[in-house]
Protein backbone atom coordinates (compact mmCIF):
# COMPACT_ATOMS: atom_id res chain seq x y z
CA UNK A 1 0.00 0.00 0.00
CA UNK A 2 1.16 3.55 -0.67
CA UNK A 3 2.22 5.82 2.14
CA UNK A 4 0.97 9.41 2.38
CA UNK A 5 4.32 10.52 0.96
CA UNK A 6 4.00 8.12 -2.02
CA UNK A 7 0.52 9.48 -2.74
CA UNK A 8 1.68 13.10 -2.66
CA UNK A 9 4.77 12.33 -4.74
CA UNK A 10 2.59 10.67 -7.44
CA UNK A 11 0.23 13.67 -7.42
CA UNK A 12 3.10 16.07 -7.99
CA UNK A 13 4.03 14.20 -11.19
CA UNK A 14 0.61 14.89 -12.73
CA UNK A 15 0.09 17.39 -15.55
CA UNK A 16 -1.17 20.88 -14.71
CA UNK A 17 -4.83 20.77 -15.66
CA UNK A 18 -6.29 22.65 -12.67
CA UNK A 19 -7.70 26.16 -12.88
CA UNK A 20 -8.11 28.09 -9.64
CA UNK A 21 -8.88 31.81 -9.35
CA UNK A 22 -8.13 32.56 -12.97
CA UNK A 23 -4.81 30.72 -13.24
CA UNK A 24 -3.69 27.32 -14.42
CA UNK A 25 -1.93 25.64 -11.50
CA UNK A 26 -0.29 22.38 -10.48
CA UNK A 27 -1.13 19.94 -7.70
CA UNK A 28 1.43 21.79 -5.54
CA UNK A 29 -0.93 24.77 -5.23
CA UNK A 30 -1.33 25.40 -1.46
CA UNK A 31 -5.08 25.97 -1.85
CA UNK A 32 -5.68 22.27 -2.54
CA UNK A 33 -3.30 21.06 0.18
CA UNK A 34 -6.05 20.90 2.87
CA UNK A 35 -7.92 18.40 0.68
CA UNK A 36 -4.74 16.41 0.04
CA UNK A 37 -4.30 16.19 3.82
CA UNK A 38 -7.77 14.63 4.12
CA UNK A 39 -7.03 11.89 1.59
CA UNK A 40 -3.60 11.56 3.19
CA UNK A 41 -5.28 10.43 6.40
CA UNK A 42 -6.74 7.40 4.58
CA UNK A 43 -3.20 6.40 3.58
CA UNK A 44 -1.78 7.05 7.06
CA UNK A 45 -4.51 5.06 8.82
CA UNK A 46 -3.90 2.08 6.54
CA UNK A 47 -0.31 1.93 7.81
CA UNK A 48 -1.45 1.90 11.44
CA UNK A 49 -1.61 -1.68 12.87
CA UNK A 50 -4.27 -0.48 15.31
CA UNK A 51 -6.75 -0.21 12.43
CA UNK A 52 -5.82 -3.32 10.50
CA UNK A 53 -9.00 -5.00 9.25
CA UNK A 54 -10.95 -1.77 9.54
CA UNK A 55 -9.04 0.46 7.10
CA UNK A 56 -7.55 -2.55 5.35
CA UNK A 57 -9.04 -5.67 3.80
CA UNK A 58 -7.80 -8.76 1.97
CA UNK A 59 -8.40 -8.57 -1.77
CA UNK A 60 -9.26 -11.93 -3.36
CA UNK A 61 -8.54 -10.31 -6.74
CA UNK A 62 -4.87 -9.61 -6.14
CA UNK A 63 -4.35 -11.79 -3.05
CA UNK A 64 -2.97 -8.90 -0.98
CA UNK A 65 -3.85 -6.59 1.85
CA UNK A 66 -5.35 -3.41 0.39
CA UNK A 67 -6.94 -0.19 1.57
CA UNK A 68 -10.61 -0.91 2.33
CA UNK A 69 -11.57 2.18 0.30
CA UNK A 70 -10.50 0.10 -2.75
CA UNK A 71 -12.15 -3.16 -1.69
CA UNK A 72 -15.20 -4.76 -3.30
CA UNK A 73 -17.17 -5.81 -0.27
CA UNK A 74 -18.09 -9.48 -0.07
CA UNK A 75 -20.20 -9.79 3.08
CA UNK A 76 -22.32 -7.90 5.63
CA UNK A 77 -19.26 -7.89 7.89
CA UNK A 78 -17.29 -6.06 5.19
CA UNK A 79 -20.03 -3.43 4.91
CA UNK A 80 -20.09 -2.87 8.67
CA UNK A 81 -16.28 -2.54 8.65
CA UNK A 82 -16.72 0.04 5.87
CA UNK A 83 -19.11 2.06 8.03
CA UNK A 84 -16.67 1.92 10.93
CA UNK A 85 -13.80 2.94 8.64
CA UNK A 86 -15.75 5.96 7.40
CA UNK A 87 -16.87 7.01 10.88
CA UNK A 88 -13.33 6.67 12.24
CA UNK A 89 -11.62 8.56 9.42
CA UNK A 90 -14.30 11.28 9.30
CA UNK A 91 -13.82 11.94 13.02
CA UNK A 92 -10.06 12.26 12.42
CA UNK A 93 -10.32 14.94 9.70
CA UNK A 94 -13.26 16.83 11.20
CA UNK A 95 -15.63 15.96 8.35
CA UNK A 96 -15.98 14.42 4.88
CA UNK A 97 -13.28 11.83 4.18
CA UNK A 98 -13.97 12.22 0.43
CA UNK A 99 -12.49 8.88 -0.66
CA UNK A 100 -15.82 7.02 -0.29
CA UNK A 101 -17.15 8.43 -3.58
CA UNK A 102 -14.57 6.44 -5.56
CA UNK A 103 -15.36 3.41 -3.43
CA UNK A 104 -19.08 3.66 -4.16
CA UNK A 105 -18.32 4.07 -7.86
CA UNK A 106 -16.25 0.86 -8.04
CA UNK A 107 -18.97 -0.97 -6.08
CA UNK A 108 -21.61 0.16 -8.58
CA UNK A 109 -19.48 -0.68 -11.62
CA UNK A 110 -18.54 -4.11 -10.35
CA UNK A 111 -22.23 -5.04 -10.20
CA UNK A 112 -23.57 -3.22 -13.26
CA UNK A 113 -20.82 -4.32 -15.68
CA UNK A 114 -21.68 -7.93 -14.82
CA UNK A 115 -25.39 -7.32 -15.42
CA UNK A 116 -24.79 -5.62 -18.79
CA UNK A 117 -22.57 -8.50 -19.87
CA UNK A 118 -25.24 -11.02 -18.85
CA UNK A 119 -27.76 -9.24 -21.07
CA UNK A 120 -25.61 -8.31 -24.07
CA UNK A 121 -22.67 -10.69 -23.96
CA UNK A 122 -20.33 -7.70 -23.76
CA UNK A 123 -16.98 -7.70 -21.95
CA UNK A 124 -17.33 -4.77 -19.57
CA UNK A 125 -16.94 -6.85 -16.42
CA UNK A 126 -13.66 -8.34 -17.65
CA UNK A 127 -12.37 -4.85 -18.50
CA UNK A 128 -13.52 -3.52 -15.14
CA UNK A 129 -11.87 -6.44 -13.31
CA UNK A 130 -8.56 -5.68 -15.04
CA UNK A 131 -8.93 -2.02 -14.08
CA UNK A 132 -9.78 -2.78 -10.45
CA UNK A 133 -6.79 -5.11 -10.11
CA UNK A 134 -4.52 -2.30 -11.33
CA UNK A 135 -6.33 0.18 -9.04
CA UNK A 136 -5.89 -2.04 -5.97
CA UNK A 137 -2.31 -2.97 -6.82
CA UNK A 138 -1.30 0.70 -7.16
CA UNK A 139 -3.46 1.76 -4.18
CA UNK A 140 -4.98 4.60 -6.21
CA UNK A 141 -7.78 6.93 -5.18
CA UNK A 142 -10.58 8.12 -7.44
CA UNK A 143 -13.22 10.81 -7.57
CA UNK A 144 -16.66 9.85 -8.79
CA UNK A 145 -18.00 12.19 -11.46
CA UNK A 146 -21.69 11.50 -11.70
CA UNK A 147 -23.49 14.87 -11.49
CA UNK A 148 -23.87 16.52 -14.90
CA UNK A 149 -24.51 20.19 -15.50
CA UNK A 150 -28.01 18.95 -16.50
CA UNK A 151 -29.30 22.12 -18.26
CA UNK A 152 -33.09 22.51 -18.12
CA UNK A 153 -34.18 20.20 -15.29
CA UNK A 154 -37.56 19.46 -16.91
CA UNK A 155 -35.89 18.04 -20.03
CA UNK A 156 -34.12 14.76 -20.67
CA UNK A 157 -30.49 14.70 -21.85
CA UNK A 158 -31.36 14.30 -25.54
CA UNK A 159 -33.96 17.13 -25.34
CA UNK A 160 -31.58 19.81 -24.01
CA UNK A 161 -30.94 22.96 -26.06
CA UNK A 162 -27.22 22.25 -25.55
CA UNK A 163 -26.44 18.53 -26.09
CA UNK A 164 -23.35 18.92 -23.91
CA UNK A 165 -25.46 19.55 -20.79
CA UNK A 166 -24.83 15.90 -19.98
CA UNK A 167 -21.57 14.06 -20.71
CA UNK A 168 -22.07 12.00 -23.85
CA UNK A 169 -20.34 9.96 -26.53
CA UNK A 170 -19.58 12.00 -29.66
CA UNK A 171 -17.54 9.42 -31.54
CA UNK A 172 -17.02 5.67 -31.38
CA UNK A 173 -13.98 3.95 -32.86
CA UNK A 174 -12.50 0.46 -32.61
CA UNK A 175 -9.92 1.58 -30.03
CA UNK A 176 -12.16 3.77 -27.84
CA UNK A 177 -14.68 6.59 -27.64
CA UNK A 178 -14.63 10.40 -27.62
CA UNK A 179 -16.76 12.14 -24.97
CA UNK A 180 -17.86 15.73 -24.41
CA UNK A 181 -19.67 17.59 -21.61
CA UNK A 182 -19.08 18.63 -18.01
CA UNK A 183 -19.58 17.03 -14.62
CA UNK A 184 -20.13 19.47 -11.74
CA UNK A 185 -19.55 19.57 -7.96
CA UNK A 186 -16.94 16.82 -8.22
CA UNK A 187 -15.21 16.49 -4.86
CA UNK A 188 -11.49 15.65 -4.57
CA UNK A 189 -10.89 15.26 -8.31
CA UNK A 190 -8.15 17.93 -8.08
CA UNK A 191 -6.09 15.54 -5.95
CA UNK A 192 -7.33 12.14 -7.13
CA UNK A 193 -5.38 9.74 -9.32
CA UNK A 194 -8.41 8.75 -11.35
CA UNK A 195 -11.86 10.02 -12.31
CA UNK A 196 -14.66 7.47 -12.51
CA UNK A 197 -17.53 8.72 -14.68
CA UNK A 198 -21.06 7.36 -14.28
CA UNK A 199 -24.45 8.39 -15.70
CA UNK A 200 -26.48 10.58 -13.37
CA UNK A 201 -30.02 9.49 -14.18
CA UNK A 202 -32.45 7.11 -15.85
CA UNK A 203 -32.20 7.23 -19.65
CA UNK A 204 -34.37 6.42 -22.65
CA UNK A 205 -33.47 5.05 -26.05
CA UNK A 206 -33.09 8.60 -27.44
CA UNK A 207 -30.50 9.24 -24.67
CA UNK A 208 -28.34 6.29 -25.79
CA UNK A 209 -25.21 8.43 -26.24
CA UNK A 210 -25.50 9.57 -22.63
CA UNK A 211 -25.22 6.00 -21.34
CA UNK A 212 -21.50 6.10 -20.74
CA UNK A 213 -19.21 5.05 -17.90
CA UNK A 214 -15.43 4.99 -17.76
CA UNK A 215 -12.35 5.56 -15.60
CA UNK A 216 -9.47 7.77 -16.65
CA UNK A 217 -6.46 9.44 -14.98
CA UNK A 218 -7.45 12.87 -13.64
CA UNK A 219 -4.77 14.62 -15.73
CA UNK A 220 -5.62 12.88 -19.00
CA UNK A 221 -5.44 14.91 -22.23
CA UNK A 222 -8.45 17.18 -22.91
CA UNK A 223 -9.73 17.10 -19.34
CA UNK A 224 -9.80 20.44 -17.50
CA UNK A 225 -10.57 20.79 -13.79
CA UNK A 226 -12.08 24.14 -12.85
CA UNK A 227 -11.54 23.94 -9.14
CA UNK A 228 -12.99 25.67 -6.08
CA UNK A 229 -11.04 24.95 -2.91
CA UNK A 230 -12.50 25.55 0.56
CA UNK A 231 -10.29 25.91 3.58
CA UNK A 232 -10.21 27.49 7.03
CA UNK A 233 -8.13 30.53 7.99
CA UNK A 234 -4.55 29.49 8.61
CA UNK A 235 -3.56 29.40 12.27
CA UNK A 236 -0.58 31.52 13.38
CA UNK A 237 0.15 30.34 16.91
CA UNK A 238 -2.52 27.97 18.20
CA UNK A 239 -1.98 25.15 15.73
CA UNK A 240 -4.58 22.37 15.72
CA UNK A 241 -5.47 19.42 13.47
CA UNK A 242 -8.85 20.74 12.21
CA UNK A 243 -7.71 23.76 10.13
CA UNK A 244 -5.17 21.59 8.30
CA UNK A 245 -8.08 19.91 6.47
CA UNK A 246 -10.36 21.16 3.72
CA UNK A 247 -11.85 20.24 0.38
CA UNK A 248 -11.91 21.12 -3.30
CA UNK A 249 -14.71 20.55 -5.76
CA UNK A 250 -14.36 20.92 -9.50
CA UNK A 251 -16.26 21.27 -12.70
CA UNK A 252 -14.70 18.56 -14.84
CA UNK A 253 -14.66 19.54 -18.51
CA UNK A 254 -14.43 16.79 -21.11
CA UNK A 255 -13.46 18.61 -24.27
CA UNK A 256 -13.65 15.91 -26.95
CA UNK A 257 -11.73 13.57 -24.67
CA UNK A 258 -10.54 10.23 -26.03
CA UNK A 259 -11.20 7.29 -23.68
CA UNK A 260 -9.40 4.06 -24.61
CA UNK A 261 -11.65 1.03 -25.00
CA UNK A 262 -10.18 -0.88 -22.04
CA UNK A 263 -11.32 1.96 -19.74
CA UNK A 264 -14.93 2.07 -21.04
CA UNK A 265 -17.46 0.22 -18.85
CA UNK A 266 -20.76 1.27 -20.46
CA UNK A 267 -21.26 2.51 -23.99
CA UNK A 268 -24.83 3.08 -25.12
CA UNK A 269 -26.70 0.54 -22.92
CA UNK A 270 -29.32 3.13 -21.95
CA UNK A 271 -31.54 0.63 -20.07
CA UNK A 272 -28.79 0.38 -17.45
CA UNK A 273 -28.46 4.15 -16.89
CA UNK A 274 -30.91 4.15 -14.01
CA UNK A 275 -29.48 0.95 -12.53
CA UNK A 276 -25.89 2.23 -12.51
CA UNK A 277 -26.88 5.67 -11.19
CA UNK A 278 -28.88 4.06 -8.39
CA UNK A 279 -26.23 1.49 -7.50
CA UNK A 280 -23.81 4.36 -6.92
CA UNK A 281 -26.37 6.50 -5.05
CA UNK A 282 -27.52 3.67 -2.78
CA UNK A 283 -23.98 2.58 -1.97
CA UNK A 284 -23.14 6.22 -1.28
CA UNK A 285 -26.15 6.59 1.01
CA UNK A 286 -24.88 3.57 2.91
CA UNK A 287 -21.49 5.33 3.21
CA UNK A 288 -23.37 8.31 4.63
CA UNK A 289 -24.56 6.02 7.44
CA UNK A 290 -20.89 6.03 8.51
CA UNK A 291 -19.89 9.61 7.79
CA UNK A 292 -22.93 11.61 8.87
CA UNK A 293 -22.94 10.03 12.35
CA UNK A 294 -19.30 11.16 12.56
CA UNK A 295 -20.24 14.72 11.55
CA UNK A 296 -22.86 14.51 14.28
CA UNK A 297 -20.18 13.23 16.71
CA UNK A 298 -18.07 16.31 15.94
CA UNK A 299 -20.99 18.73 16.37
CA UNK A 300 -22.05 16.94 19.56
CA UNK A 301 -18.50 17.09 20.95
CA UNK A 302 -18.17 20.78 20.06
CA UNK A 303 -21.49 21.51 21.76
CA UNK A 304 -20.52 19.63 24.93
CA UNK A 305 -17.15 21.37 25.05
CA UNK A 306 -18.44 24.88 24.50
CA UNK A 307 -21.22 24.24 27.04
CA UNK A 308 -18.45 23.52 29.57
CA UNK A 309 -16.60 26.67 28.50
CA UNK A 310 -19.83 28.57 29.20
CA UNK A 311 -20.26 26.60 32.45
CA UNK A 312 -23.77 25.53 31.45
CA UNK A 313 -22.99 21.87 30.86
CA UNK A 314 -24.85 20.60 33.95
CA UNK A 315 -28.06 22.42 33.05
CA UNK A 316 -30.90 20.13 32.01
CA UNK A 317 -31.83 21.76 28.69
CA UNK A 318 -28.22 21.34 27.50
CA UNK A 319 -28.30 17.64 28.36
CA UNK A 320 -31.57 17.29 26.49
CA UNK A 321 -30.03 18.99 23.45
CA UNK A 322 -26.97 16.73 23.52
CA UNK A 323 -29.22 13.68 23.45
CA UNK A 324 -30.65 14.87 20.13
CA UNK A 325 -27.27 14.30 18.49
CA UNK A 326 -27.24 10.76 19.84
CA UNK A 327 -30.72 10.06 18.52
CA UNK A 328 -29.95 11.03 14.93
CA UNK A 329 -26.36 9.76 14.70
CA UNK A 330 -26.97 6.34 16.20
CA UNK A 331 -30.22 5.76 14.31
CA UNK A 332 -28.41 6.46 11.06
CA UNK A 333 -25.50 4.22 12.04
CA UNK A 334 -27.94 1.44 13.01
CA UNK A 335 -29.75 1.81 9.70
CA UNK A 336 -26.38 1.27 8.00
CA UNK A 337 -25.85 -1.92 10.00
CA UNK A 338 -29.38 -3.08 9.11
CA UNK A 339 -28.62 -2.28 5.45
CA UNK A 340 -25.53 -4.49 5.75
CA UNK A 341 -27.19 -7.50 7.37
CA UNK A 342 -30.24 -7.33 5.11
CA UNK A 343 -28.10 -6.67 2.04
CA UNK A 344 -27.60 -9.11 -0.82
CA UNK A 345 -24.88 -10.89 -2.71
CA UNK A 346 -25.02 -9.81 -6.35
CA UNK A 347 -24.07 -11.97 -9.35
CA UNK A 348 -20.75 -10.12 -9.48
CA UNK A 349 -19.99 -11.39 -5.97
CA UNK A 350 -20.05 -7.88 -4.52
CA UNK A 351 -22.24 -7.61 -1.42
CA UNK A 352 -24.71 -4.72 -1.68
CA UNK A 353 -26.53 -2.91 1.16
CA UNK A 354 -30.30 -2.99 1.45
CA UNK A 355 -31.47 0.23 -0.25
CA UNK A 356 -34.41 0.96 2.10
CA UNK A 357 -32.26 0.99 5.24
CA UNK A 358 -29.42 2.85 3.47
CA UNK A 359 -31.84 5.55 2.28
CA UNK A 360 -33.62 6.07 5.60
CA UNK A 361 -30.24 6.20 7.37
CA UNK A 362 -29.05 8.90 4.98
CA UNK A 363 -32.37 10.74 5.02
CA UNK A 364 -32.54 11.25 8.78
CA UNK A 365 -29.12 12.94 8.74
CA UNK A 366 -30.07 15.16 5.80
CA UNK A 367 -33.16 16.27 7.69
CA UNK A 368 -31.33 17.00 10.94
CA UNK A 369 -28.13 18.65 9.67
CA UNK A 370 -29.22 22.30 10.01
CA UNK A 371 -30.89 21.50 13.33
CA UNK A 372 -27.63 20.09 14.68
CA UNK A 373 -25.74 23.23 13.62
CA UNK A 374 -28.50 25.24 15.27
CA UNK A 375 -28.00 23.42 18.59
CA UNK A 376 -24.27 24.20 18.56
CA UNK A 377 -24.91 27.83 17.57
CA UNK A 378 -27.47 28.23 20.34
CA UNK A 379 -25.26 26.71 23.05
CA UNK A 380 -22.05 28.48 21.92
CA UNK A 381 -23.50 31.99 21.86
CA UNK A 382 -22.71 34.77 19.39
CA UNK A 383 -18.97 34.73 20.03
CA UNK A 384 -18.79 31.80 17.63
CA UNK A 385 -19.14 34.26 14.76
CA UNK A 386 -17.80 37.51 16.29
CA UNK A 387 -14.53 36.15 17.69
CA UNK A 388 -11.69 38.59 16.87
CA UNK A 389 -8.88 37.34 14.63
CA UNK A 390 -6.12 35.21 16.07
CA UNK A 391 -3.67 38.11 15.64
CA UNK A 392 -5.52 40.03 18.38
CA UNK A 393 -4.58 37.23 20.78
CA UNK A 394 -0.93 37.65 19.75
CA UNK A 395 -0.45 41.43 19.37
CA UNK A 396 1.07 43.04 22.47
CA UNK A 397 -1.47 45.86 22.48
CA UNK A 398 -4.57 43.62 22.53
CA UNK A 399 -3.39 40.31 24.04
CA UNK A 400 -3.94 41.34 27.69
CA UNK A 401 -7.55 42.30 26.93
CA UNK A 402 -8.17 39.15 24.90
CA UNK A 403 -6.67 36.86 27.55
CA UNK A 404 -8.70 38.53 30.27
CA UNK A 405 -12.08 38.60 28.51
CA UNK A 406 -12.01 35.35 26.55
CA UNK A 407 -12.36 33.32 29.75
CA UNK A 408 -15.93 32.59 30.76
CA UNK A 409 -15.34 29.49 32.86
CA UNK A 410 -12.18 30.01 35.01
CA UNK A 411 -11.61 26.26 34.84
CA UNK A 412 -10.12 26.95 31.38
CA UNK A 413 -6.97 29.04 30.83
CA UNK A 414 -7.06 31.95 28.37
CA UNK A 415 -5.36 29.81 25.72
CA UNK A 416 -7.75 26.88 26.29
CA UNK A 417 -10.74 29.21 26.12
CA UNK A 418 -9.41 30.77 22.93
CA UNK A 419 -8.83 27.31 21.42
CA UNK A 420 -12.40 26.28 22.20
CA UNK A 421 -13.97 29.35 20.59
CA UNK A 422 -11.61 29.23 17.62
CA UNK A 423 -12.59 25.58 17.08
CA UNK A 424 -16.28 26.42 17.36
CA UNK A 425 -15.81 29.31 14.92
CA UNK A 426 -14.16 26.88 12.46
CA UNK A 427 -17.05 24.46 12.85
CA UNK A 428 -20.03 26.86 12.67
CA UNK A 429 -18.79 30.03 11.02
CA UNK A 430 -16.17 29.18 8.40
CA UNK A 431 -16.32 28.46 4.69
CA UNK A 432 -16.36 24.78 5.57
CA UNK A 433 -19.59 25.24 7.54
CA UNK A 434 -21.65 26.08 4.47
CA UNK A 435 -19.97 23.25 2.58
CA UNK A 436 -20.94 20.69 5.24
CA UNK A 437 -24.49 21.98 5.54
CA UNK A 438 -25.13 21.87 1.81
CA UNK A 439 -23.28 18.56 1.42
CA UNK A 440 -25.55 17.24 4.19
CA UNK A 441 -28.60 18.12 2.10
CA UNK A 442 -27.46 17.35 -1.47
CA UNK A 443 -24.52 14.94 -1.26
CA UNK A 444 -25.54 11.53 -2.59
CA UNK A 445 -28.58 13.11 -4.28
CA UNK A 446 -31.03 15.85 -3.30
CA UNK A 447 -33.70 14.83 -0.75
CA UNK A 448 -36.29 14.19 -3.44
CA UNK A 449 -34.04 11.42 -4.79
CA UNK A 450 -34.27 9.55 -1.50
CA UNK A 451 -38.04 9.92 -1.63
CA UNK A 452 -38.09 8.58 -5.19
CA UNK A 453 -35.94 5.58 -4.20
CA UNK A 454 -38.03 4.86 -1.12
CA UNK A 455 -41.25 5.10 -3.10
CA UNK A 456 -39.85 2.78 -5.77
CA UNK A 457 -38.52 0.20 -3.31
CA UNK A 458 -41.01 0.31 -0.45
CA UNK A 459 -44.07 -1.90 -0.64
CA UNK A 460 -46.99 0.36 0.29
CA UNK A 461 -49.47 -2.23 -1.04
CA UNK A 462 -48.28 -4.65 1.62
CA UNK A 463 -48.90 -2.01 4.32
CA UNK A 464 -52.37 -1.46 2.84
CA UNK A 465 -52.93 -5.20 3.04
CA UNK A 466 -52.19 -5.10 6.79
CA UNK A 467 -54.77 -2.35 7.17
CA UNK A 468 -57.29 -4.24 5.05
CA UNK A 469 -56.76 -7.44 7.05
CA UNK A 470 -57.20 -5.65 10.35
CA UNK A 471 -60.26 -3.84 9.01
CA UNK A 472 -61.81 -7.13 7.93
CA UNK A 473 -61.57 -6.34 4.20
CA UNK A 474 -59.08 -9.13 3.43
CA UNK A 475 -59.28 -12.60 5.00
CA UNK A 476 -55.56 -13.43 4.71
CA UNK A 477 -52.37 -11.65 5.63
CA UNK A 478 -49.26 -13.17 3.99
CA UNK A 479 -46.26 -11.86 5.94
CA UNK A 480 -43.70 -14.35 4.67
CA UNK A 481 -42.15 -12.02 2.06
CA UNK A 482 -41.05 -9.63 4.78
CA UNK A 483 -40.81 -11.26 8.11
CA UNK A 484 -39.30 -14.55 7.01
CA UNK A 485 -36.27 -12.85 5.44
CA UNK A 486 -33.22 -14.08 7.31
CA UNK A 487 -30.59 -11.54 8.32
CA UNK A 488 -27.09 -12.33 7.05
CA UNK A 489 -25.62 -12.84 10.49
CA UNK A 490 -24.40 -16.43 10.38
The DSSP symbol for 148 reads B
| Strand-strand pairing, 64-67 and 56-59 | antiparallel
User: Does position 427 bind ligand FAD by CB under 6 A?
Assistant: no
Residue 167: closest CA among 190, 187, 144? 144
User: Does position 249 bind ligand FAD by CB under 6 A?
Assistant: yes
CA distance 450 to 355: 10
Scanning residues 428 to 457, which ones bind ligand FAD (CB under 6 A)? Answer: 435, 438-439, 442-443, 445-446, 448
3-state secondary structure of 194: strand
Query: For ligand FAD, which residue of 22, 23, 121, 154 counts as binding (CB under 6 A)?
Result: 154
Shortest Cβ 212–ligand FAD spacing (Å): 14
Shortest Cβ 149–ligand FAD spacing (Å): 8
* DSSP per-residue codes, 47-105: T-GGGTTTTEEEETTTTEEEEGGG----SHHHHHHHHHHHHHHHHHHTS---THHHHHH
Shortest Cβ 373–ligand FAD spacing (Å): 15
Nearer to ligand FAD, 97 or 341 (CB): 97
Shortest Cβ 443–ligand FAD spacing (Å): 5
Residues binding ligand FAD: what is the number (CB under 6 A)? 21
Residue 307: closest CA among 381, 382, 371? 381
Shortest Cβ 97–ligand FAD spacing (Å): 12
Scanning residues 258 to 317, which ones bind ligand FAD (CB under 6 A)? Answer: none
Cα–Cα separations (whole angstroms), residue 209 to 180, 259, 271, 273, 290: 11, 14, 12, 11, 35
Query: For ligand FAD, which residue of 16, 91, 122, 185 counts as binding (CB under 6 A)?
Result: 185
CA distance 27 to 39: 14
Residue 413: closest CA among 304, 314, 309? 309
Query: For ligand FAD, which residue of 56, 70, 81, 147 counts as binding (CB under 6 A)?
Result: 147
CA distance 32 to 38: 10
Scanning residues 187 to 226, which ones bind ligand FAD (CB under 6 A)? Answer: 187
Query: For ligand FAD, which residue of 45, 145, 242, 376 counts as binding (CB under 6 A)?
Result: 145
Query: For ligand FAD, which residue of 81, 146, 227, 384 counts as binding (CB under 6 A)?
Result: 146
Shortest Cβ 135–ligand FAD spacing (Å): 17
Cα–Cα separations (whole angstroms), residue 301 to 167, 193, 423, 437: 42, 34, 11, 17
Binding mask 94-133 for ligand FAD (x = CB under 6 A): -------x--------------------------------
* Residues forming the site for ligand FAD (CB under 6 A): 101, 143-147, 150, 153-154, 185-187, 249, 435, 438-439, 442-443, 445-446, 448
Amino acid sequence: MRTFEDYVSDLMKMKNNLYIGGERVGRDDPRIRPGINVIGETYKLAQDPEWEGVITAESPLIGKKINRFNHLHLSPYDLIQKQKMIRLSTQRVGGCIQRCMGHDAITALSICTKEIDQKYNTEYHKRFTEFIKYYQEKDLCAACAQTDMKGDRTKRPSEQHDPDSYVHIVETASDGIVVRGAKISITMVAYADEIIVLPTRALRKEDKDYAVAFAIPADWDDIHLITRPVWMRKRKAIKAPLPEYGVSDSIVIFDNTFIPKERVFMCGEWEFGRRLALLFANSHRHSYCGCKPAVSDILCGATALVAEANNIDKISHIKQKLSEFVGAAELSFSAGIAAAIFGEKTDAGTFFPNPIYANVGRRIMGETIYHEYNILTEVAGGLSVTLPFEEEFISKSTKPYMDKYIVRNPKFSPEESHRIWRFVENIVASGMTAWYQIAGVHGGGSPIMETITLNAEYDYEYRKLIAKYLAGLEPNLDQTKYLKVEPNIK
